[in-house]
Every structure is written in C-alpha cells, then in structure tokens.
C-alpha cells in the first residue's frame, strides 16, 4: 500500500472539519446500517464505540467537549445542571429535531459513551452516562454520574 500523498491522519486533518455534506449519508450509517450489523447489541456496542472514540480524541475541558460535538455534527451540547456528582447536558440540533419524525428507533448511546469517557478524562474519575429523549422539546438529555 502506497503512502504517497498521505501526510496526515483523519484526526489531524483540519480541512475535513469545514466540509459540509448532507446528513442523509450519516443517518444511513448510524441509524440503519449499524443497528442491522450489531443487532440486539447495538446500544451496548455504540456506547463503547463512543468511549473508544473519546480516547482517540481527548478533550481537556467542557468548552472543548462542546466544540467537538459541534465539529463532529453531533449537535449543540449544553451543560444545564451540575449538582454534586451529577452533570446534566442537553443536546439539540436541526438533525435531532428531524429524528423525532423517524419510524426507526434512534440511539444516542454513542454520544453518551463519548461524554462518559471525556468527563472521566477531564475529572479523573470513572463516570457513566445515560441518555433520555424528550419528544416534546425535541432534544436529548444526558445524565452523567460518577460510578460507584
């Protein structure tokens, strides 16, 4: 395999962050193809894929976490509550709003795993994250808590 012309990895490529493409291709992979391949394990595997992705793309603070979510096209992540060992985030975007019209189930386990691992890195503590969709407000809420 030739490496001529290959100067950087995907994660080093700043130009890729600015290329805009239709969401349809992303949705085909995330919402249809992955669930078909992973079957009943789809939520479990996506959570751990999110954690693995976070280890490859570590952030150092909340601002970087929020910026990554925007750059990756996950949506606008907002910290809405911090109390004790629990952090509550809200995720919204036009794509998330549109997902509420799908007949297919939509999973946010990849994003939850990503948040859990990033917060574990930031706070140097084991953190897990659960997600909950809100049809009325057309957003997703993530509850991140320190593991016992």
For residues 68-76, average pLDDT: 95
pLDDT at 3 over 80: no
pLDDT at 2 over 60: no
pLDDT at 143 over 70: yes
Contact, 108 vs 133, CB < 8 A?
A: yes
pLDDT at 6 over 90: no
| pLDDT tens-place string over residues 74-117 | 999 999 999 988 999 999 999 999 999 999 889 999 999 999 99
Closest by Cα among 51, 145, 139 to 90 = 139
Beta bridge partners, 49, equal none
pLDDT band at 5 (very low <50, low <70, confident <90, very high): low
- Complete DSSP assignment for 87-125: EEEEEE-HHHHHHTT-SS----HHHHHHHHHHHHHHHTS
CA atoms within 13 A on the CB side of 94: 3
Whole-number pLDDT of residue 20? 82
Per-domain residue ranges of the chain: 22-146
Whole-number pLDDT of residue 67? 95
Please give the class, per CATH, of domain 22-146: alpha beta
Classify residue 105 as exposed, middle or buried by CB count within 10 Å of its CB (0-12, 13-18, 19+).
exposed
């Amino acid at each position: 395999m030739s490496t001529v012309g290959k100067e950087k990895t995907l994660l080093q490529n700043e130009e890729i962050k600015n290329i805009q493409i239709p969401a349809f291709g992303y949705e085909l992979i995330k919402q249809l193809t992955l669930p078909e391949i992973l079957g009943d394990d789809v939520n479990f595997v996506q959570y751990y894929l999110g954690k693995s992705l976070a280890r490859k793309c570590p952030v150092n603070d909340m601002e970087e976490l929020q910026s990554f979510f925007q750059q990756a096209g996950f949506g606008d992540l907002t910290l809405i509550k911090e109390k004790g060992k629990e952090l509550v985030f809200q995720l919204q975007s036009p794509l998330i709003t549109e997902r509420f019209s799908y007949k297919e189930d939509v999973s946010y386990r990849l994003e939850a795993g990503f948040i859990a691992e990033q917060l574990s890195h930031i706070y140097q503590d084991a953190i897990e994250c659960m997600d909950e969709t809100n049809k009325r407000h057309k957003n997703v809420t993530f509850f991140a808590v320190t593991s016992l």
